[in-house]
Amino acid sequence: MNRVVLVDPAGDIGQVAAALKEIGWVQPECATAVPSGPGVVALLVPPEVAVGAAELAQLPDLRIVAATATGYDHLDLDAIAAAGVWATHCPGYCSEEVAEHAIAFVLALLRGIAFLDNSVRSGAWDYRLAPPRRVAGAVLGIVGLGRIGREVAGRARALGMRVIAADPAVDEERSAGVAVMPLDELLEAADVVTLHVPLTPATRGMIDAAALSRMRPGAFLINCARAGLVDHHALGRALRAGHLGGCALDVLPDEPPSADQPALSWSRTLLSPHAAWFSPGSAAAPYRRAAEAVAAVLQGREPPDAIARPRS
């Protein structure tokens, strides 16, 4: 039996099975790790599961790797294409959820919500421990003006914020009215900086010590994208030195974090467990869409949202 393997025990195998129900010669199944051997014709993998040359070498019958996520930095696209395999992803399925999460972080940071809550629970009663700031009129700097960045911009403007953006792929004509500028200028101007770019060799570590030093004293950093965009050692130093007012992170270098993960001990830091993508409405979508891409390839059609095409 040809096998379609969802390498994600938390994934929705029901959505995969429903999308493949008309293909009687494949058997969808769940696994906790990338399998090996003949018979595996498709993999569906979340961001935590890497697929590269080593995995491909063990899967002689593989025809498609479908990422159950928008990001695909966990896939070696050159190796996949060279192996004669398709790769796809799921852009846009959780844009609204991530934008809402980022805006929730913006509000919590500027108004000091979590920090003041913690202070009251510790016995204090003093708003000056985390003085709330006015949201209307504050400058939000969006790094990356793609689907999610544009959703964030619309919500921020509805709150009366001034929105600026840095994205070399977007010019003023395609910026939906958002002022576009170089990253250095954005960092110097923003009260809150939120990251919404993919992790690539060009963006890895883009928020390093130099970038953090350019941010305004007391500014906030939000990352709901990929942990690798930020130099976490430099971020910790900037927080300890008091240069930043705080940060909010939905992604960490190691997930789940070990007890000695530095971010767990940083002051004025909000953390969520890679949850920005989630809502009941978005939970099933990536598995259904990835399975639809698998069905297309197995039926001899080009899949939607292809990011690698077979070269052999």
**Two tokens, residue 16:** 């995969």
User: 86-88 and 306-308: which strand pairing?
Assistant: antiparallel
The catalytic position among 240, 255, 302, 311 is 255
Place of tokens 């965009």: 229
Cα–Cα dist 249/266, whole Å: 11
**Which residues neighbour 80 within 8 Å (Cβ) at sequence distance 6 or greater?**
51, 56, 65, 86, 87, 308
The catalytic position among 157, 237, 274, 309 is 274
Centre a 10 Å sphere on the Cβ of residue 40 and count the other Cβ atoms it contains: 21
Instruction: Say whether 308 sits in a helix, a strand or coil.
Output: strand
Instruction: Say whether 104 sits in a helix, a strand or coil.
Output: helix
**Which residues neighbour 176 within 8 Å (Cβ) at sequence distance 6 or greater?**
145, 150, 153, 154
Give, as one character, the DSSP assignment of residue 257.
Answer: P
Cα–Cα dist 18/261, whole Å: 40
274 carries an active-site annotation: yes
Cα–Cα dist 308/84, whole Å: 9
The catalytic position among 63, 226, 268, 289 is 226
User: What does 213-266 look like in DSSP terms, one character per residue?
Assistant: HHSPTT-EEEE-S-GGGB-HHHHHHHHHTT-SSEEEES--SSSSPPTT-GGGG-
In whole angstroms, what separates CA 203 from the centre of its chain?
13
Phi/psi at 78 (5° precision): -65, -45
Q: Which residues are catalytic?
A: 226, 255, 274
